Amino acid sequence: MGSLVRWSTVIVVTVALSAPAAAHAATVTTDKACYKAGEPGTVSVAGFAPGSTVDATVEAQPMVNLLPDGAGVASAPFTPLASPDTGETSETLVATDALNPAITAQVTYRVTATEVTMSPGSAKLTAKVTWRLSGFGAGSAYLHVARRNANGRTVTVRTLKLGALTGPCGALTARTAQLPLAKPAPGTTYLLRFNTRSAPTAPALVQRTVRTPSARSKKPSGGVVGSG
């Protein structure tokens, strides 16, 4: 009798086990890309451990502590550390989980002074000069030429639109006469008021003064009186 051959079938079942979804990377953001010196802002974090404490620092100096909610999200007010008197600078804020320092994120923003410089630094009132504005924010920049009337009130005698501000901090380069008036009154102090509003009575972000020579003098004077 022939031999009986039995065939065994082995079924291999492969079960694909999906790996757990990767945790969201921690992030930190600010509400602006550029701040004026001393201007407060808001810092926000996400992707941090719920119930932990997040330390926000700049150059290792503590800025603010945030307490993430159940979703790992938190926001808090802060003020940039840098406070430049002129120009602008960058600043990096680092957010670190106090319980697990390996969880960290950072954001870089800029901090700027609000200023107007004139080039050349000294010129005739009728001469063309270059104005460099910084820290004016978004929108357009205006130059309002004003003087005080007989009653002591400040009145605007001319308004010029200098152009659109660019960049995160609001910068602009424009050229005008230092005193852009066709027939300025002699022996008179004029206010050069720079801001971002076309209304002649809007507050100035930066203000400069120039004085026309009297009828007996030909030497003009001018200078910066600060912001106001």
What is the tens place of the pLDDT at every residue in 110-153? 999 999 999 999 999 999 999 999 999 999 999 999 999 988 89
DSSP state of 2: P
Q: What domains does the chain contain, in order, with CATH numbers?
A: 27-112 (2.60.40.1930), 115-226 (2.60.40)
CB distance 60 to 90 below 8 Å: no
pLDDT in tens, 22-37: 356 999 999 999 999 9
Token couple for 104: 């960290």
Q: How far is CA 109 from the centre of its chain?
A: 8
Length of the chain counted residue by residue: 228
CB distance 207 to 133 below 8 Å: no
Rounded to whole angstroms, the Cα distance separating 36 from 23 reads: 36
Is residue 120 reached through a cis peptide bond, with omega within 30 degrees of 0 on the bond before it? yes
Read off the pLDDT band of 162 (50, 70, 90).
very high
CB distance 48 to 68 below 8 Å: yes
pTM summary value: 0.76
Rounded to whole angstroms, the Cα distance separating 9 from 14 reads: 16
The radius of gyration computed from the CA coordinates of the chain, to the nearest angstrom, equals: 31
**Percentage of residues in the chain having pLDDT higher than 90:** 80
